[in-house]
C-alpha cells in the first residue's frame, strides 16, 4: 500500500476534495435518473440468472441443478426456503471456517458474526468480495439520492463518520477474517477513500468500546464531519458524549458541516424526537438505512418516508407471507407478483452464496413501482406468551406515541412477560433521555395504543381477559449500557434486545439492574384481575 501514499495525500487536499465532491454530485444525478427509469422486475430476473450462472459449479449449485434452471418459478421449485440454521447444518458446519466452493465460488474471505440480540448462539454469515461491492453500491445509491436532492452539498469536502463496532477481526483460518460487519467494512475501504472517512483505522481497531467511543468523540471535534452513520441507539450515546465533552446544546453546533445522520438497526420512531432534539438543525437530513449482515436491503425515501428497495446489486428477493412460514408449501412471491399490504418475511439469494435464505425480517409493500416498503419487525420478534400476538411494529409505534403524549423521549427499552404470582402480564424496562412527569400516564397511553391497534391484545386486556396493565421499570441513565457490557455486547452493531416472549432475558435484565442499583422507579402491574383468558383463543 505504500505506493498509494502520494495519491492518498493528494486526495486529502482542498482542490481535490472539491473535484471529488463535484464528481459525486454529477454521478449521483445520473444514478438517480437510471433508477427512476429502471425496470425492477426485469433487473431482478437478470440478477437471479447471473447468480445461478456464477454458482452453478459449487456444491450447492450442483445439488440444486442450477445449470438447468431458467426461470424464477423453476428456481423456487428447486430451492427450498432455508433459515441460517438450515444452511449451517446442511452446508457450512462441517467445513467451517474454510468455506471453499460450497455455496459460492472460491473461499469465502469474511464471516460476519451476528450481533446476538437474542440469547441464541452466534451466527457466521458469509461475506464475499462481490457482497462487499454490493454493499458499497447500495450505500453509494443512498448517498446519490441525497446529493441529487442537494446539489450544493459539500459531503466529500468533509469526512464521513462510520460509527461501527470493533474492527479487530479474528482469523480462524488462512485467508478468512471473522467479526462484526462494520469490522469487515472498515478493513475493506478503498484506500483512496480513507481521507474522506473517519475514524482512522488505528482508532477503529480499538476493541475497548468505552475508550474507543470517547476517543472518537474527542478526535471528531477537530474534523469537518459531514455525515455520521450507525445504529440509532449507539448514535444517541455518541451524541450525548459529544455534548458532555463540549458543553454545547446540539450536535449541529459541534459539527457545523453536518448534512446527514444515517441511522438504522432498530425502528426509528421511538428515537425520532430524541434524535431531532440532539441534532438540533432541521437542515440535517435524518436518513434511514436498512443494511443487515446478509446484504444492504433498502434506504429511506425522501419524499414518502418509506424504504426504497435496492434491486440491482446482486441480491434476488422473495417475499413469503409471515403466517405461511413453517408450512410445507408456503407461497413465494417476488417483485413480479408481490402484493400491497401483506406482512411478508424477506427471503434473499445473494452474491455471498445465500439461497432462498429467510433472514428473519418482515416488511410490507406500500408501493410496487418503485418498490417502497415499511419495515414491520422480525419473524421471531413477536410478543405472544399469552396469545396476544403483538408484533414489534405495533410495540415500537405505541412507545413512540406514548412518548409524544407524555412529553418524554426514550433511549432504550425491552419488553417481556412476567409469569406466576399475580396474573401474567407484560413488563417494560425503559431508559429515558427525558422522563415523563407521570409514569402512570405514559404506561396507560402505551397500553391504550396497543388495545386500539391489536384486537388480540384488546381481548386479553378487556374485563375477563385476565391480563392487567403492563408493569413499567424506569432504568437509570447508562443502565442498559452496563447490562450490555456485562454480556460482552456493548457498542458497535450490538443492539439491546427489544422483545423476548420467553421472559428469560427480561428476568436477567431486571436481576442485573436490581443488583447494580440500575432501577430508578417502578410502576407495578395491577395486583389482581377477575376472570381468565379463553383457552380456545390462539
- The per-residue pLDDT for range 363-380, each reduced to its tens digit, is 999 999 999 999 887 776
Contact status, residue 61 vs residue 55, Cβ threshold 8 Å: yes
In a domain, 494, yes or no: yes
Q: CA-CA distance, 412 to 246, in Å (whole number)?
A: 24
Among candidate residues 337, 352, 378, the one where a domain is terminated: 378
In a domain, 133, yes or no: yes
Q: Are residues 185 and 314 in the same domain?
A: yes
Contact status, residue 167 vs residue 204, Cβ threshold 8 Å: yes
pLDDT of residue 526: 55
Q: Are residues 171 and 215 in the same domain?
A: yes
The confidence band for 538, taking pLDDT boundaries of 50, 70 and 90, is very low
Q: Are residues 152 and 202 in the same domain?
A: yes
Closest C-alpha among 31, 29, 17 to residue 192: 17
Q: Are residues 369 and 394 in the same domain?
A: no
Closest C-alpha among 337, 336, 333 to residue 320: 333
In a domain, 416, yes or no: yes
Q: Which three cell numbers stand for residue 317?
A: 428477493
- The per-residue pLDDT for range 271-326, each reduced to its tens digit, is 788 899 999 999 999 999 999 899 999 999 999 999 999 999 999 999 999 889 88
Q: Are residues 281 and 218 in the same domain?
A: yes
pLDDT of residue 6: 44
**Would you call the peptide bond into 199 cis, given omega within 30 degrees of 0 as the criterion?**
yes
pLDDT of residue 120: 44
Percent of the chain with pLDDT over 90: 63
Q: CA-CA distance, 213 to 190, in Å (whole number)?
A: 24
Relative to beta strand 295-300, strand 307-309 is: antiparallel
The phi, psi pair for 415, rounded to 5°, reads -135, 140
Q: Are residues 500 and 362 in the same domain?
A: no
Q: Are residues 328 and 403 in the same domain?
A: no
Q: CA-CA distance, 51 to 61, in Å (whole number)?
A: 10
Q: Are residues 442 and 369 in the same domain?
A: no
Contact status, residue 307 vs residue 319, Cβ threshold 8 Å: no
Q: Are residues 406 and 458 in the same domain?
A: yes
Q: Are residues 426 and 362 in the same domain?
A: no
Residue 178 CA, distance from chain mean position? 19
pLDDT of residue 115: 47
Residue 141 has pLDDT above 90, yes or no: yes
Q: What is the mean pLDDT of residues 383-410?
A: 87
Percent of the chain with pLDDT over 70: 90
Residue 49 has pLDDT above 80, yes or no: yes
Q: What is the mean pLDDT of residues 168-179?
A: 90
Phi-psi region of 175 (alpha: psi -120 to 50; beta: other; left: phi over 0): left
pLDDT of residue 383: 83
**SS3 (DSSP) at 26:** helix
In a domain, 82, yes or no: no
Contact status, residue 198 vs residue 225, Cβ threshold 8 Å: yes
Q: Which three cell numbers stand for residue 466?
A: 385476565
The confidence band for 492, taking pLDDT boundaries of 50, 70 and 90, is low
The confidence band for 187, taking pLDDT boundaries of 50, 70 and 90, is confident
In a domain, 218, yes or no: yes
Quick count: other Cβ atoms within 10 Å of Cβ 121?
Answer: 10
pLDDT of residue 422: 57
Closest C-alpha among 254, 242, 247, 251 to residue 218: 242
Q: Which domain holds residue 302?
A: 2-38+128-378
Q: Are residues 239 and 134 in the same domain?
A: yes
**SS3 (DSSP) at 513:** helix
Q: What is the mean pLDDT of residues 55-82?
A: 97
User: What's the farthest any 2 CA atoms get from each other in the chain?
Assistant: 77
Q: Are residues 233 and 250 in the same domain?
A: yes
Q: CA-CA distance, 207 to 198, in Å (whole number)?
A: 16
The confidence band for 119, taking pLDDT boundaries of 50, 70 and 90, is very low
Residue 10 has pLDDT above 90, yes or no: no
The phi, psi pair for 317, rounded to 5°, reads -105, 140
pLDDT of residue 268: 81
In a domain, 83, yes or no: no
For residue 407, give the CATH number of its domain: 3.30.300.30
Rounding to the nearest 10 degrees, give the CA dihedral for residues 60, 74, 314, 43: 170
Euclidean distance between the first and the last CA atom of the chain, given in angstroms as a whole number = 61
The β-bridge partners of 344 are 321, 363
The confidence band for 121, taking pLDDT boundaries of 50, 70 and 90, is low
In a domain, 389, yes or no: yes
Average pLDDT, the chain: 87
pLDDT of residue 524: 83
Among candidate residues 362, 378, 394, the one where a domain is terminated: 378
Among candidate residues 350, 378, 406, the one where a domain is terminated: 378
The position carrying cell 477474517 is 177
Q: What is the mean pLDDT of residues 203-226?
A: 90
Q: What is the count of structural domains for the chain?
A: 2
Amino acid at each position: 500500500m505504500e505506493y498509494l501514499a502520494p495519491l492518498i495525500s493528494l486526495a486529502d487536499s482542498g482542490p481535490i476534495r472539491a473535484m471529488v465532491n463535484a464528481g459525486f454530485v454529477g454521478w449521483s444525478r445520473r444514478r438517480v435518473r437510471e433508477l427512476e427509469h429502471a425496470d425492477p422486475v426485469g433487473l431482478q430476473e437478470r440478477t437471479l440468472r447471473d447468480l445461478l450462472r456464477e454458482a452453478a459449479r459449487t456444491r450447492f449449485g450442483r445439488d440444486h441443478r442450477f445449470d438447468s434452471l431458467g426461470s424464477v418459478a423453476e428456481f423456487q421449485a428447486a430451492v427450498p426456503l432455508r433459515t441460517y440454521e438450515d444452511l449451517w447444518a446442511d452446508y457450512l458446519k462441517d467445513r467451517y471456517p474454510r468455506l471453499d466452493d460450497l455455496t459460492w465460488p472460491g473461499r469465502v474471505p469474511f464471516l460476519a458474526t451476528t450481533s446476538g440480540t437474542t440469547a441464541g448462539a452466534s451466527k457466521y454469515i458469509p461475506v464475499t468480495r462481490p457482497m462487499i461491492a454490493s454493499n458499497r453500491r447500495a450505500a453509494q445509491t443512498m448517498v446519490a439520492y441525497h446529493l441529487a436532492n442537494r446539489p450544493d452539498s459539500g459531503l466529500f469536502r468533509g469526512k464521513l463518520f462510520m460509527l461501527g463496532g470493533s474492527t479487530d477481526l479474528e482469523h480462524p483460518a488462512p485467508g478468512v477474517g471473522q467479526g462484526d460487519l462494520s469490522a469487515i467494512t472498515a478493513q475493506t475501504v478503498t484506500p483512496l477513500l480513507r481521507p474522506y472517512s473517519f475514524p482512522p483505522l488505528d482508532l477503529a481497531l480499538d476493541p475497548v468500546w468505552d475508550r474507543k467511543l470517547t476517543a472518537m468523540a474527542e478526535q471528531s471535534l477537530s474534523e469537518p464531519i459531514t455525515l455520521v452513520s450507525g445504529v440509532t441507539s449507539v448514535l444517541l450515546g455518541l451524541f450525548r458524549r459529544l455534548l458532555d465533552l463540549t458543553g454545547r446544546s446540539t450536535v449541529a453546533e459541534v459539527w457545523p458541516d453536518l448534512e446527514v445522520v444515517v441511522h438504522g438497526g432498530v425502528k426509528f420512531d421511538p428515537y425520532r424526537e430524541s434524535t431531532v432534539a440532539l441534532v438540533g438543525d432541521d437542515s440535517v437530513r435524518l436518513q434511514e438505512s436498512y443494511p443487515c449482515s446478509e446484504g444492504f436491503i433498502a434506504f429511506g425515501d425522501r419524499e414518502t418516508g418509506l424504504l426504497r428497495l435496492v434491486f440491482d446489486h446482486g441480491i434476488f428477493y422473495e417475499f413469503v407471507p409471515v403466517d405461511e412460514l413453517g408450512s410445507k408449501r408456503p407461497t413465494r412471491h417476488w417483485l413480479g407478483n408481490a402484493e400491497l399490504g401483506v406482512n411478508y418475511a424477506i427471503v434473499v439469494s445473494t452474491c455471498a452464496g445465500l439461497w432462498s435464505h429467510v433472514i428473519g425480517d418482515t416488511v410490507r409493500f406500500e408501493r410496487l413501482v418503485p418498490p417502497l416498503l415499511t419495515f414491520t419487525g422480525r419473524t421471531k420478534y413477536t410478543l405472544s406468551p399469552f396469545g396476544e400476538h403483538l408484533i414489534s411494529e405495533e410495540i415500537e409505534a405505541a412507545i413512540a406515541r406514548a412518548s409524544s403524549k407524555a412529553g418524554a423521549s426514550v433511549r432504550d427499552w425491552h419488553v417481556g412477560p412476567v409469569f406466576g404470582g399475580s396474573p401474567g402480564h407484560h413488563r417494560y424496562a425503559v431508559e429515558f433521555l427525558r422522563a415523563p412527569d407521570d409514569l402512570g400516564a405514559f404506561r396507560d397511553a402505551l397500553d391504550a395504543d396497543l388495545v386500539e391497534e391489536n384486537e388480540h391484545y384488546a381481548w386479553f386486556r378487556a374485563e375477563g381477559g385476565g391480563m392487567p396493565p403492563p408493569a413499567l421499570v424506569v432504568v437509570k441513565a447508562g443502565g442498559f449500557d452496563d447490562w450490555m457490557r456485562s454480556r460482552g455486547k456493548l457498542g458497535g452493531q450490538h443492539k439491546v434486545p427489544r422483545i423476548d416472549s420467553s421472559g428469560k432475558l427480561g428476568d436477567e435484565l431486571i436481576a442485573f439492574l436490581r443488583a447494580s442499583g440500575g432501577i430508578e422507579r417502578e410502576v407495578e402491574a395491577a395486583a389482581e384481575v377477575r376472570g381468565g383468558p379463553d383457552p380456545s383463543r390462539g
